[in-house]
Amino acid sequence: MSQYQAVKGTKDVFPDEAVQWQLVEGVVRRLAGLYAFGEVRTPVFEYTELFQRGIGATTDIVGKEMFSFLPDPQGRSLTLRPEMTAGVMRAALQRNLLSQAPLHKLFYISDLFRKERPQAGRQRQFTQFGAELLGASSPAAVAEVLSFMMGVFDALGLTGLRLRINTLGDLEDRARYRDALRAYFLPFADELDESSKERLEKNPLRILDSKNPALKELIAAAPRLFDFVKAEGVAEFEEVLSLLRDRGVSYEVDHLLVRGLDYYCHTAFEVTSSELGAQDAIGGGGRYDGLARELGGGKDMPAVGFAVGMERLLIAMEKQGLLEGLKPVGPKVFVVVQQLELSGHAMQVAFQLRRAGISTELDLAGRSMKAQMREANRLGAAYALFIGQTEFESGQYGLKNLVSSEQSTLTLDSITEILREPLLCG
């Protein structure tokens, strides 16, 4: 064993497990295509201020979870992205996207980094897929984004999910609510735990996120944000819910749901899975019209998005047996050579087959024929193509179907014709 281990909270993925990722990624890409979302890729690191402004200084992410570093002693601090929305909005503003077209529907599958204590479903490097719809945040836009997200779960066959949804009102509603909440918790300040005490001053809304059982009753009896939302906000929320019902998306309205990130407004949602333990949130999102202004864009930009954690999604799928029997697809043909001197020819044969779109493997380690056959079976090859001295000289090769054991003797051109598969390109 090497003296080096992967850093705690990070993970290596080999082909056996990579197929699980490819399954999910394939479905995300397919659904993104169906819903007409285009892929966005942004840098893995950004200036630290982007996240401080974009996520909010009082959030756990910015407060204690960012991997930040100075590129050089005089440089500006950089941070490995802990989430995608701020980076995507930065990129959209930098490119002035909305001046090119009024609406942009973007999706991503990206690695993120947070300095958290590693545990099941909580890593220091993890992957999210998500979408950001820029230029609209109408009820239709919210429903569109939610349908895409729930569509991915449906297509994967995942069940036992709970979609909770709430409205956070606008900035003004939240400011009034923050004051009311502070006034409510203040007389109980001594009963609050340390982190809630801190939140009382800086951002009392976040006390509602507390998982501390001792505070459960106190939190349940707190004033509700919903009661501070203006009538227009409530009407819009009702419309979102009605669109979700029309599309057959089931949800639960939960007025206690507040998202930790400061830039959310109006509709916010979260999906949890009954298959996950303490870290049961699988994804979440909502509207963030105020983020563009916060990042210096000069004005609000209607926007709505979601993010889903791939690791937790895979854990839930595994628990429901949705990953069973999944294994890497083997080569169609394994070229078996009788003696080492023929390996150059075997390569040419493999080359011709591959050019015809036929996945082909061959021996690269000078193994015996028996070992090559064993390898062909281990990989799940459909055919073995034999090359001995006679085959080499006559140009007639033995082709064995490894499932039926049927064997025939054919020229390479006929084999190529029989097994040919259309190439993706060229």
Give me the residues that bind ligand AMP (CB under 6 A), please.
Answer: 83, 114, 116, 121-123, 126, 128, 281-284, 307, 309, 311-312
Note the residue count of the chain: 426
Whole-number minimum distance, CB 107 to ligand AMP, in Å?
15
Whole-number minimum distance, CB 231 to ligand AMP, in Å?
29
CB atoms within 10 A of CB 321: 9
Nearer to ligand AMP, 123 or 372 (CB): 123
Whole-number minimum distance, CB 415 to ligand AMP, in Å?
47
Nearer to ligand AMP, 117 or 370 (CB): 117
Whole-number minimum distance, CB 276 to ligand AMP, in Å?
9
Whole-number minimum distance, CB 64 to ligand AMP, in Å?
13
> How far apart are alpha carbons 115 and 64 in whole angstroms?
7
Instruction: Choose among 176, 147, 95: nearest CA to 285.
Output: 147
Nearer to ligand AMP, 307 or 381 (CB): 307
Residue 116, CA distances (Å) to 16, 28, 135, 216 in order: 27, 27, 33, 24
Nearer to ligand AMP, 181 or 261 (CB): 261
Look at the block and give the residue holding tokens 């819910």.
Answer: 241
Whole-number minimum distance, CB 253 to ligand AMP, in Å?
19
Sign of torsion, CA 154 156 159 162? negative
The DSSP bridge partners found for residue 105 are 133
Question: Measured at CB, which residue is nearest to ligand AMP?
Answer: 309
Whole-number minimum distance, CB 15 to ligand AMP, in Å?
22
3-state class of 194 per DSSP? helix
Nearer to ligand AMP, 88 or 307 (CB): 307
Nearer to ligand AMP, 260 or 380 (CB): 260
Spell 284-315 as b/e; 16+ CB within 10 A means b.
bbbbbbbbbebbebeebbbbbbbbbbbbbbbb
321 φψ region: left (φ > 0), alpha (ψ -120 to 50), beta (else): left
Nearer to ligand AMP, 207 or 399 (CB): 207
Instruction: Choose among 55, 50, 40, 61: nearest CA to 264.
Output: 55
Sign of torsion, CA 101 105 109 115? positive
> Which helix or strand (DSSP H or E) is residue 52 part of?
helix 48-55
DSSP conformation class of 119 = B
Nearer to ligand AMP, 110 or 372 (CB): 110
Whole-number minimum distance, CB 149 to ligand AMP, in Å?
11
Whole-number minimum distance, CB 61 to ligand AMP, in Å?
7
Whole-number minimum distance, CB 35 to ligand AMP, in Å?
20
Whole-number minimum distance, CB 291 to ligand AMP, in Å?
14
> How far apart are alpha carbons 107 and 101 in whole angstroms?
17
Nearer to ligand AMP, 126 or 237 (CB): 126
Nearer to ligand AMP, 62 or 222 (CB): 62
Instruction: Choose among 411, 169, 416: nearest CA to 286.
Output: 169
> How far apart are alpha carbons 399 and 407 in whole angstroms?
6
Q: What torsion do the CA atoms of 131, 295, 210, 195 make, to the nearest 10 degrees?
A: 150
CB 112 within 8 A of CB 125: yes
> How far apart are alpha carbons 118 and 398 in whole angstroms?
54
Nearer to ligand AMP, 275 or 311 (CB): 311
For the record, the structure tokens of 35 come out as 């819903």
